[in-house]
Structure 1
């Protein structure tokens, strides 16, 4: 649910708690019991989305930063470096799935009737 809400627009723990019909403090307590904060969960989801977009699309980094709701591309780059230890472009270069085009089979050409080849 959080992934969808992040892609739709900015979301807060208050908004997410409301979607689960609970008070945001109750949500915080449940997360604390699991040993995480709301922001940690948001960061994990943003990191997963960023990896997917980097590996499976040709979107520019500034477009990815907009999709993930960063104020500017440099904020996205800093966050991604914090999460992965490398820049988004370096990560993309080493993890992008190579899009392979199907190999064309050579079709033997037969001479046309009446031609001298």
Structure 2
């Protein structure tokens, strides 16, 4: 293992990169619902340069775009499962340029179209759960 400059080889507790991805996910979930956001805008919210944000994420093995897509997918699933919003409305909420772009992205993320995912989820939700004896 290589030593960091501070001589501490342990986890970075109290450091911005310690669990930074989780903090970023929480902030992104809120910010993506407010409107379009970039890594520069998010970095500004964390009072850091966008390159520092990228370094922290690289340390955790992810990119800003990967996390943003993960959050957009989670929001899409939540909206599909728990609302009656039309696909074009969901695509607007998630700032896709058009509904077909949302459908392509969702298919990439889940392997199926959003309408198929919604239907499958509704079917699974309707099935009664087995009660342990």
1:51 pairs with one of 51, 74, 77? 77
Structure 1 length as normaliser, TM-score?
0.82
* 1:26 aligned onto 2:52: yes
**Corresponding residue for 2:21?**
none
Equivalent runs, 1:2-41 vs 2, <5 Å: 2-41=28-67
Q: Deviation string for 1:26-73 (max 9, x for gaps)?
A: 000000011110000000000000000000001000000000000000
**Moved runs in structure 1, 4+ residues, more than 6 A?**
none
For these two proteins, the number of residue pairs brought into alignment is: 98
Cα distance in structure 1, aligned partners of 2:111 and 2:76: 14
* 1:85 aligned onto 2:107: no
Higher-Rg structure is: 1
Structure 1: which 5+ runs fail to align?
Answer: 99-117
Cα distance in structure 2, aligned partners of 1:95 and 1:37: 29
Structure 2 length as normaliser, TM-score?
0.72
Cα distance in structure 2, aligned partners of 1:79 and 1:41: 14
Q: Deviation string for 1:57-116 (max 9, x for gaps)?
A: 010000000000000000000000000000000000001344xxxxxxxxxxxxxxxxxx
Structure 2: which 5+ runs fail to align?
Answer: 1-26, 127-133
Cα distance in structure 2, aligned partners of 1:14 and 1:79: 23
The RMSD of aligned alpha carbons is 0.7
Cα distance in structure 1, aligned partners of 2:31 and 2:87: 21
Cα distance in structure 1, aligned partners of 2:73 and 2:66: 10
